[in-house]
Amino acid sequence: MPMTDFAHNLEAVRQRIAAAARNAGRVPESVALLAVSKTFPAQDVRAAHAAGQRAFGENYVQEAVDKIETLADLRTSLEWHFIGPLQSNKTRPVAERFDWVHSVDRLKIAQRLSEQRPASMAPLNVCLQVNVSGEATKSGVAPQEAAQVARAVAALPNLRLRGLMSIPEPEQTLDAQRAPHRQLRELFDALRADGLALDTLSMGMSADLEAAVLEGATIVRVGTAIFGARDYSH
């Protein structure tokens, strides 16, 4: 795909976000765009960066590490967000290389990330992944356990708990898409009312970003609408 297509796709996604924000009575700048580059080569990230995109999301540790190394020359102007399932034996490269982890789904993972975060780096920004009703994956803490886990994660020295993340089951209508996003936002509001200093709701993907923005998303994670369909055959 030539570079200009990413610029075009990025602009179209930014327009969608802006329109949804205006419909929600929010300013477009209150929603950050995370470009999900999993399965796409480093050169595609470079092209999106050249088109002005700064935050990129990755799901697979080794693939991400390779890309981060290939793009080392851009490191100070890129943010890397880990958004995939994280096994406890794979936390070290994530702690050492990423700026954010959205997919913290148990305390043990958070403890390891905090222990392994180099002292020379800023605290690792993390979100707690919550398994709201109709979750597509089995990952994520149950909503009724979220407050307890969030408190424990927030107390870890080398992490900064920023908020909540979820991956709802795909739905066709706007109303059906909004329901799980609303659940996550209500949980977020409850945790904030309870004294946790959270500022991030990571929800919404290519197919449901409007519903997520209407329900208060502060980061939408968009892959297909920017980079095209993914090919998992190699």
Q: Minimum distance between the CB of residue 10 and ligand PLP, rounded to whole angstroms? A: 13
Q: Minimum distance between the CB of residue 132 and ligand PLP, rounded to whole angstroms? A: 14
Please enumerate in sequence order all residues whose Cβ is within 8 A of that of 27, keeping only pairs 6 or more positions apart, or say none.
Answer: 21
Q: How many residues bind ligand PLP (CB under 6 A)?
A: 14
Token pair, residue 233, equals 């055959």
Tell me if 206 contacts ligand PLP by CB under 6 A: yes
Sign of the Cα torsion 189, 27, 165, 70 reads negative
Going by the DSSP 8-state scheme, the letter that residue 141 receives in this structure is B
Nearer to ligand PLP, 163 or 223 (CB): 223
Q: Which residue is nearest to ligand PLP (CB)?
A: 223
Q: Cβ(131)–Cβ(139) under 8 Å?
A: yes
Tell me if 133 contacts ligand PLP by CB under 6 A: no
Stretch that binds ligand PLP, among 42-50, 73-81, 192-200, 203-211 (CB under 6 A): 203-211
Tell me if 39 contacts ligand PLP by CB under 6 A: no
Specify the 3-state DSSP secondary structure of 181: helix
Contact with ligand PLP (CB under 6 A) among 83, 126, 187, 211: 83
Q: Minimum distance between the CB of residue 195 and ligand PLP, rounded to whole angstroms? A: 28
Residues 111 and 68: their CA atoms lie apart, in Å, by 24
Stretch that binds ligand PLP, among 16-24, 67-75, 111-119, 217-225 (CB under 6 A): 217-225
Tell me if 126 contacts ligand PLP by CB under 6 A: no
Residues 147 and 45: their CA atoms lie apart, in Å, by 36
Residues 155 and 99: their CA atoms lie apart, in Å, by 18
Tell me if 203 contacts ligand PLP by CB under 6 A: no
Q: Cβ(137)–Cβ(174) under 8 Å?
A: no
Contact with ligand PLP (CB under 6 A) among 20, 33, 36, 156: 36
Q: Minimum distance between the CB of residue 226 and ligand PLP, rounded to whole angstroms? A: 8
Stretch that binds ligand PLP, among 1-9, 13-21, 115-123, 222-230 (CB under 6 A): 222-230
Q: Cβ(94)–Cβ(75) under 8 Å?
A: no
Nearer to ligand PLP, 65 or 203 (CB): 203
* Angle formed at CA 62 by CA 32 and CA 11, multiple of 5 degrees: 25
Strands (E), the chain: 32-36, 55-58, 79-82, 100-104, 124-129, 159-165, 200-202, 219-222
Interface residues with ligand PLP (CB under 6 A) are 36, 38, 59, 83-84, 167, 205-207, 221-225
